[in-house]
Amino acid sequence: MDTMTKEKEPTVVNGINVDDLKALVASIEADPAKAMTHWRVETTWKGQTRSRAEVQGFGFGGEQVARQFCIDVDEPMELGGSNRFANPQEYLIAALNACMTVGYVAQCAVRGITPEHLAIETEGDIDLRGFLGLNAEVAPGYEALRYTVRIRGDGTRQQFEEIHAAVMATSPNFYNLARPVALQPTSSSTDITPLPGGSREHGIRSRCR
């Protein structure tokens, strides 16, 4: 007789391990300190309107998790850039869309719903007179963002309406953009490290290629 115990297969919906997700929720409910996360990005100028944002890791439940990514940013030629990469406004909107996408997929997963199609389109208008300092009465950024969510799958209309409400209530970036977030400058550092040949740089050196 086979005495080997067959391991239970994890419940995976939409590529998300629902068992792990539920275990995370239970862990945080038992110890709220595990809920705290810390995010940090360092951006350096790379010439003209180009910059590079670097991620070295993030804080999760009091632990530091190493992870490394680089995000290159530019501006269109019409705005003085070289058009090599998307610009800050496009990354801002992309971050909102991506955050909401995670929410929709996760909310579907815990309900056992598989989306066949999910797309989020967001757009907004910026009057450059504000950015250029031509008119103090003109806002330098968005006054509003308009978004459309298109989702189709094996859930009912009522289920998708519940999912939409849950995403709007819990998405971090929806929250971040839907209300004022305090910006708190901590320093105006002049910590400059001399480099060979007389050049200088601030802070840590890039590990990105």
Lowest mean pLDDT among 102-111, 154-163, 178-187: 178-187
E strand or H helix at 184: none
- Match 């632990």 to its residue by tokens: 63
Q: Per-residue pLDDT averaged across 127-153, rounded? A: 97
Distance CA 193, CA 205 (A): 10
Per-domain residue ranges of the chain: 87-179
Average pLDDT over the chain, rounded to whole?
90
Its CATH class, for the domain covering 87-179, is alpha beta
E strand or H helix at 12: strand 12-13
Q: What is the pTM of this model?
A: 0.86
Q: pLDDT > 70: what percent of the chain?
A: 86
CB 24 within 8 A of CB 18: no
pLDDT at 135: 98
Lowest mean pLDDT among 52-61, 172-181, 199-208: 199-208
Q: Per-residue pLDDT averaged across 138-156, rounded? A: 97
SS3 29: helix
Confidence at 190, pLDDT banded by 50, 70, 90: low
pLDDT at 209: 64
pLDDT reading at 201 higher than 60? no
List the one residue out of 162, 88, 163 whose CA is nearest residue 118.
163
Q: pLDDT > 90: what percent of the chain?
A: 84
* Residue 204 amino acid letter: I
pLDDT at 8: 82
pLDDT reading at 133 higher than 50? yes
pLDDT at 70: 98
Handedness of CA 162, 164, 165, 171 (dihedral sign): positive
